[in-house]
Amino acid sequence: MLAGKSILMSAVMTFVVMAGALYAEVSEYTVDESTLGLWHFNEGEGEIIKDATANGNDGKRRPEKTGWIEGKFGKALKFNKGSALVEVVNAELFNFGPEQSFMLECWIKTDTGGQYIRKFGGSGKGGYWIGVHRTGRVRALISNGQKAVNVFSNTKVNDNEWHHIAMLRDATKGNVHIYVDGKIEETGEVPPGEISCNTPLYFGYYNPAGIIDEARIYSNRADPSLSALLNSLSDW
């Protein structure tokens, strides 16, 4: 048992160190076997935000509340407050079972709060989201419909500079981790059970007024262990 814990900790540390080391060279994401959805926000026109995977989970933006702007890589989407600013209707793929580890991430640039990736509420009121609290700290929430857990970063990101934010649900240990710019910031205990709901997936909720780029959700459904997920992440 101790050896297993050692291997898992090694995998987590490898991910953190590699992520931090690669930020100077990081580029636009590519699809791998663990990628469930990837949105580059490079369209520059129209209302459709293409999912780069073969899963076809395209989003539709609200043009009166969003606009195209230069991003971290290529184009990005600027939010002008409001909610449900980009909607991905067919979102069943982004529900997760009790033994499924998963991660969501994006690049953001903001000087205020709001939610950036959200699949939460509806029947059962389970799900998750990640965004920026009014204090400037990254906040993530995860819920099984009966109990919700909030996790906050120590680092503030409301400085109008680009930051990478991520939330990792570790089903192996029952934890949720929050990352800012490749470094783990805080850990909480995930409620047991499914993390799912019947709502769409949204980008931009609760009045964000920042920029989003390179949003991605992934999980290795062929092997639900955390180590398999982190091994795939180590490539970036």
Gap between the Cα atoms of 206 and 101, Å rounded: 26
Q: What is the pLDDT of residue 231?
A: 52
The answer to whether residues 76 and 70 touch, using CB atoms and an 8 Å cutoff, is yes
Q: What is the pLDDT of residue 206?
A: 87
User: What's the domain range around 9?
Assistant: 2-233
Question: What are the structure tokens assigned to 184, written together?
Answer: 């783990």
Number of separate domains in the chain: 1
Buried b (16+ CB within 10 A) or exposed e, 108-128: bbbeebbbbbbbbbeeeebbb
Q: Which residues contact 50 (CB under 8 A, 6 or more apart)?
A: 39, 40, 43, 58
Averaged in consecutive runs of 10 residues, what is the pLDDT profile of the chain (236 residues)?
Answer: 29 34 58 92 95 95 94 94 87 90 94 93 81 95 91 96 93 90 90 89 90 91 50 44
Q: What is the pLDDT of residue 90?
A: 79
Q: What is the pLDDT of residue 60?
A: 94
Q: What is the pLDDT of residue 123?
A: 60
Gap between the Cα atoms of 50 and 126, Å rounded: 26
> What CATH number is attached to the domain comprising 113?
2.60.120.200
Q: What is the pLDDT of residue 191?
A: 82
Residue 209: Cβ within 10 Å count: 15
Q: What is the pLDDT of residue 182?
A: 85
